[in-house]
Amino acid sequence: MTGAGRYAPSPSGDLHVGNLRTALLAWLFARSTGRAFLMRVEDLDRVREGAAERQLDDLAALGIDWDGEPVWQSQRRKLYATAIDRLVDEGRTFECFCTRREILEAPSAPHLPPGAYPGTCRHLTEEERAERRQTRPPAIRLRTEVDEWTVTDVLHGQVTASVDDLVLRRNDGVPAYNLAVVVDDGAQRIDQVVRGDDLLTSAPRQAYLATLLGIEPPVYAHVPLALNVDGKRLAKRDGAVTYRELTARGVDVFDLIVGSLGLVGDSPEALLQSFEPSRLPRDPWTFVPPAPA
């Protein structure tokens, strides 16, 4: 096999049908291109007891398999610390003492979208940093040297987005998502990332960070999300949306997902025979919870 794709759920609760749909697409993209398919549990934050195990069980019940054992981010903190230390030693970071509210209320730089980090702590003196450490532990931010970065996406083509001074380690000591995902993808030799298109604008900043760490950015494919009938992102509050809830109502979840993608087949392996990314729907899928059978 050449390279690897992956699925990386956060164990904050059971996967809903939109998450499962994305997982199946990630599997199809990987297997159809001769790649391995890896599973990673992103459990650095928001962990609900037993959720990871239920997620893996539901993925397997859908017919999705993966190579090797799942990797748990909570067991890889040394990797993240090493990457951060490297960037610190290279002078590519700075300490940040801003609260989330202060960032949201601060005026953004002209080249950055609203809510992006405005560079408040970038040029603090050592005396100013020492004073702030007395009242608040710092986060570590990347001292970004570009305003924007461009990646190529299988479904969206060339995508350019702004890159701000992203957080590498939060002020509570937890490695930030953008850092962890880049380090993990590099360490696992993942060269294909398929995920929801809500993360499309995050890809350029992650690709930029990857290049600083000497990691080749992956091939991206950001797929449409599942929405509820109000046009908002599907969530647990929308009723029966998980594999177990839908199955209990007599719904064939695999068939439901396959139909939403315009594919034909009764197993993931069967779908490979006709899977063609260019034919996938480009619009969000509106999920209407079926009535009990």
Question: Residues with Cβ < 8 Å from 274, sequence gap 6 or more?
Answer: 263, 264, 265
- Can you give the pTM of this predicted structure? 0.93
Complete domains list, the chain, with CATH: 4-75+224-286 (3.40.50.620)
Q: Report the amino acid identity of residue 244.
A: R
Mean pLDDT of the chain: 94
**Residue ranges at the known binding site:** 6-10, 42, 96, 98, 117, 121, 177, 195, 236
Position 110 pLDDT exceeds 70 = no
Give mean pLDDT, residues 88-104.
Answer: 93
**Residue ranges at the known binding site for ATP:** 236
pLDDT 10s digits, 27-81: 999 999 999 999 999 999 888 999 999 999 999 999 999 999 999 999 999 999 9
Angstrom distances, CA of residue 172 to CA of 10, 79, 116, 218: 19, 18, 20, 29
**Residue ranges at the known binding site for Zn(2+):** 96, 98, 117, 121
Strands 148-153 and 157-162: antiparallel
Give mean pLDDT, residues 4-17.
Answer: 96
Question: In terms of Cα–Cα distance, which of 233, 220, 224, 214 is closest to 257?
Answer: 224
To the query of whether residue 236 is one of the catalytic residues in this protein, the response is yes
pLDDT top residue among 238 and 126:
126
Residue from 48, 133, 236, 282 carrying the catalytic annotation: 236
